[in-house]
Structure formats: C-alpha cells, structure tokens
Amino acid sequence: MYTVKDVSKQFNISPHTLRFYANKDLFPNITRNKQNIRLFSDKDLEYVEMVLALRHTGMSLPSIKAYIDLCAIGDDSVMQR
C-alpha cells in the first residue's frame, strides 16, 4: 500500500493534485487506515496513471469521471467507452 506522498513522488505530481483527484472520486477504491490516511493499492496506481494520461490529452475531469465509472462496470461497458 502507498500513501499520497509515495504516489505523488512516483508520478511527479503534487500531493494536493492527487488529493483533489481522489476527492473527485477518480480513484474508485481508495481505502483509508485508522489514522484516516489514504492508501493506494497497485490497482489504484493503474487508475492514477490512467487519469494522468487522460488529463494529458486534455480530457475534462467530468469526462474522466464518466470514463472511470464505465471502466469500473467492466467488460459490459466497452462499447460505451
């Protein structure tokens, strides 16, 4: 499991940006420990990478959120993506 600090260093983004994206529910399965610190799994890191790539293309946050929601549904949503 990785903290916000770990992930922000790995992806070279600010902790503030990472928390902002998390608050927008762009990472669907983030957990928190007993101290209420966000913890990212390896699967969550895949979502971080995807969100950053989509932002790099100029996609808006609401569009990214819609795409992430479709991805979470699974293979049944491939045509909608």
Whole-model pTM?
Answer: 0.83
- With 90 as the cut, is the pLDDT of residue 75 above it? no
- At residue 52 the predicted structure's pLDDT band, cuts being 50, 70 and 90, is very high
Burial of residue 76, with CB atoms counted within 10 A of its CB: 0-12 exposed, 13-18 middle, 19 or more buried: exposed
Domain carrying residue 66: 4-77
**Domain CATH for 62:** 1.10.1660.10
Please state the domain count of the chain: 1
Cα distances from 17 to residues 23, 33, 35, 69, in angstroms, run 10, 20, 21, 20
Contact between 49 and 10 under an 8 Å Cβ cutoff? The reply is: no
